[in-house]
Amino acid sequence: MSTERNTFSFSAIVGQETLKTALLLNAVDPRVGGVLIRGEKGTAKSTAVRALAAVLPPIRVVDGCRFSCDPDDAAALCDECRARSESGPLPVASRRPRFVDLPVSATEDRLIGTLDLEHALKHGERRFEPGLLAAANRGILYVDEVNLLDDHLVDTLLDSAAMGVNIVEREGVAFSHPARFILVGTMNPEEGEVRPQLLDRFGLCVEVEGLASPGDRVEVMERRSAFEDDVTAFRMAWAPQERALELRIATARGRLPSIHAPRDLLFLIANVAADIGVDGHRADLTMSRAASALAALEERDVPDAEDVRRVAPLVLAHRVRRKPFEDVSFDQMRLDSVLSQSRGEEGDGTPSPDSRSGESPADGAASARLAVLGRAADPERGPAGDLSERLVTPLDGTRRSGDGRRQETRSDDKRGRYTRAETPRPGQPVDIALDATIREAAAHQTSRSGDMAIRIEPVDIRTKVRKRRVGASIVFCVDASGSMGVSTRMEATKAAVLGLLVDAYQRRDRVGLVSFRGDDAEVLLPPTSSVELAQLKLRSMPSGGATPLAAGIKASLELLDAESRRDAKVVPWLVLVTDGRANVGIDGGLGSEDARTMASKVREKGVNSVVIDITEGTSAVSAARELARLSGGDYVRMPRVTGQDLSGAVRQRLEAV
């Protein structure tokens, strides 16, 4: 929860009109369904969201309610308020809605709430300990890097957001409370995509970019330093604009119930959604709500075609149907042509886009092509820290336990699905499974005494066994040296990378590519789950020159090390495409010797590996086979390598049961 005093002013944010509009539409009508903000780091994303919370009009709440119940909505009261209301009218207080930050590492208990263990043990009563969903009720729930959130948390979050209620039924507690919030997620497409199912559940989506105009950039700097120099003075200076904006939101909210989209506008919306090509009906409903909210925000009583034109990119960009590899972005031209066609067909007499003056917040988006695509950014995300030291810890130990197979792995960090309970092993941190613990204790109650309602002894304690789906991180390490067949080899590898990424969403896999040529290795693609990003980065793949095989393996291991620091459970895979011959070593060392040393490191680090031998002809002695032996991995001969064979060889090993 933010202290408003230290928050930047929403009105003081320079540019980013599309983002501001998307946030304001949700402020006017939370049923618009939240915003997914895509963009690189350092682009005012979280600043804008925090600042929005500070201009949301105050709400009336039941005083003392842990769930911020609305005293004017008797039907949506929490169980506690319902009980209280039976003995008289509920006390009312007024305060600003909260800004709640959901960290990516949050546990399920933290999100949905849990049984208050202390209370249960002391008083023998079940009492619910609220989680972040409770704190966020009627406010903003903010998830930075929502694409990195665990699947089961995402499902819980979206279910609550859709129903407006959090229902907890576990550990013998059944509890429900209202959970209506504006869901705002941010993501950097460089870090991997959001599952398509999740994408569609966000009402609006905006792509945020840095500002291009030098004038704007200077203004950003000036306002930033004014803010940092003296927060109080800065907020005072912007207070009139902030209060005016707050009033505008409050007025729009008041106006909203009387705003109804005319039937011909609904036809227009349906035509647009169908023509642009989106599945389901969620987009239609969102577009209609967003158009009404925009009209309300601009003090008009009837939304029109121009409102639809302005909100459509926000609603449709992330919902456009596309096939893998299809380079699709949302196209304003297409939208405009659909709109004018529909208008022609319907003859509904709604004003044309030009007939109303005033700025159009979505215009910037139109010219910037509200792309669904991840954009290229600096591939500077290398592994941090000293490789030789860091590599040993995260990759050792359990790495091999799954034979490199992708699976649901036991999770020891309180993340993941609770599957069963067991007696804790000595030294193991206890993630208490209350249901199982109480069941265990229940059997002994008659033989125990004390002032507790239920007497639990250490032997009763059971710990939760949680399972979490983990993906594989697969790094291809490819010989890009020489000239014979190198371009075929590179194309085949690219095809294999893209092939493996097509359904990476479901499997949580990430794929990267390192090439080695000349005197060093190059990370062409840091591990990603994004097909779009892979396509973009692998557009050109330089080849030719000498063969620094050892440097290639070293760079690959560094990437995999970074991957396991990101998620200790990830299954690391190295796919080495080589003939095993190396003529350049590391720091002037002997090429072949350094390569063998690095191959042994692969085994030491517990990285799973496959060596794809591209040696032509039939030679009994193969340097590549020797590397496979040293790295402890599989060996596959593939003199004429194709993308399909390559991805097939990898997939087969990942899926092997």
The catalytic residues are 282
| Least distance to Zn ion, CB of residue 123, Å | 21
**Using rule CB under 5 A, residue 69 touches Zn ion:** yes
Burial readout 369-387 (b: 16 or more C-beta within 10 A, e: otherwise): bbbbbbeeeeeeeebeeeb
As a whole number of angstroms, the distance between CA 168 and CA 128 comes to: 9
483, two tokens: 């000239």
As a whole number of angstroms, the distance between CA 307 and CA 288 comes to: 9
Helix ranges (H only) for 54-190 are: 79-85, 108-112, 117-123, 132-136, 151-163
Stretch that binds Zn ion, among 74-82, 156-164, 251-259, 488-496 (CB under 5 A): 74-82
| Least distance to Zn ion, CB of residue 96, Å | 18
User: Which lies closer to Zn ion via its Cβ, residue 178 or residue 383?
Assistant: 178
Residue 564, C-beta contacts closer than 8 angstroms, at least 6 positions apart = 394, 395, 473, 570, 572
Stretch that binds Zn ion, among 2-10, 57-65, 548-556, 601-609 (CB under 5 A): 57-65
As a whole number of angstroms, the distance between CA 233 and CA 243 comes to: 16
Q: How many positions of this chain bind Zn ion (CB under 5 A)? A: 5
**Using rule CB under 5 A, residue 362 touches Zn ion:** no
| Least distance to Zn ion, CB of residue 159, Å | 20
As a whole number of angstroms, the distance between CA 210 and CA 208 comes to: 7
User: Which lies closer to Zn ion via its Cβ, residue 78 or residue 586?
Assistant: 78
621, two tokens: 């002695």
Angle (CA) 14-17-23 rounded to 5° is: 110
As a whole number of angstroms, the distance between CA 351 and CA 304 comes to: 7
Q: What is the DSSP string of 593-631?
A: HHHHHHHHHHHHTT-EEEEEE---S--SS-HHHHHHHHH
128, two tokens: 């619910």
User: Which lies closer to Zn ion via its Cβ, residue 88 or residue 215?
Assistant: 88
Stretch that binds Zn ion, among 66-74, 122-130, 363-371, 637-645 (CB under 5 A): 66-74
The residue behind tokens 């970019």 is: 209
The residue behind tokens 């075609």 is: 305
569, two tokens: 């459970």
Stretch that binds Zn ion, among 64-72, 95-103, 198-206, 319-327 (CB under 5 A): 64-72
Report yes or no: 170 and 488 within 8 Å, Cβ to Cβ: no
| Least distance to Zn ion, CB of residue 82, Å | 8
The residue behind tokens 């009009």 is: 57
Element of type H or E holding 547: none
As a whole number of angstroms, the distance between CA 370 and CA 331 comes to: 7
284, two tokens: 């239609």
**Using rule CB under 5 A, residue 61 touches Zn ion:** no
**Using rule CB under 5 A, residue 67 touches Zn ion:** yes
Closest CA relative to residue 14, chosen from 224, 216, 243: 216
| Least distance to Zn ion, CB of residue 58, Å | 17
Closest CA relative to residue 283, chosen from 311, 324, 323: 311
Closest chain position to Zn ion (CB): 69
Stretch that binds Zn ion, among 79-87, 147-155, 483-491, 542-550 (CB under 5 A): 79-87
User: Which lies closer to Zn ion via its Cβ, residue 84 or residue 469?
Assistant: 84
**Using rule CB under 5 A, residue 179 touches Zn ion:** no
| Least distance to Zn ion, CB of residue 164, Å | 14
Bridge-partner residues for 613, per DSSP?
578, 637
| Least distance to Zn ion, CB of residue 80, Å | 5
Report yes or no: 470 and 563 within 8 Å, Cβ to Cβ: no
The residue behind tokens 């109303």 is: 356
| Least distance to Zn ion, CB of residue 170, Å | 21
| Least distance to Zn ion, CB of residue 527, Å | 45
Count Cβ atoms below 10 Å from residue 84 Cβ, excluding itself: 18
Count Cβ atoms below 10 Å from residue 459 Cβ, excluding itself: 9
Query: CA torsion sign, 596 to 602 to 603 to 609?
Result: negative
Stretch that binds Zn ion, among 65-73, 202-210, 299-307, 481-489 (CB under 5 A): 65-73
* Residues 275 to 294 in contact with Zn ion, rule: CB under 5 A: none
Report yes or no: 552 and 560 within 8 Å, Cβ to Cβ: no
Stretch that binds Zn ion, among 71-79, 97-105, 184-192, 590-598 (CB under 5 A): 71-79
Report yes or no: 350 and 300 within 8 Å, Cβ to Cβ: no
Using CA atoms, how far residue 449 sits from 206, 438, 446, 583, in Å, is 61, 16, 8, 77
As a whole number of angstroms, the distance between CA 256 and CA 289 comes to: 10
**Using rule CB under 5 A, residue 81 touches Zn ion:** yes
| Binding-site member from 32, 51, 55, 65 for Zn ion (CB under 5 A) | 65
The residue behind tokens 């409102």 is: 307
Query: Binding mask 224-253 vs Zn ion (x if CB under 5 A, - otherwise)?
Result: ------------------------------
| Least distance to Zn ion, CB of residue 77, Å | 6
User: Which lies closer to Zn ion via its Cβ, residue 63 or residue 230?
Assistant: 63
As a whole number of angstroms, the distance between CA 466 and CA 214 comes to: 52
182, two tokens: 């504006």
| Least distance to Zn ion, CB of residue 69, Å | 3
| Least distance to Zn ion, CB of residue 67, Å | 5
Stretch that binds Zn ion, among 22-30, 61-69, 113-121, 551-559 (CB under 5 A): 61-69
User: Which lies closer to Zn ion via its Cβ, residue 81 or residue 395?
Assistant: 81
| Binding-site member from 78, 268, 495, 595 for Zn ion (CB under 5 A) | 78
What are the residues binding Zn ion (CB under 5 A)?
65, 67, 69, 78, 81
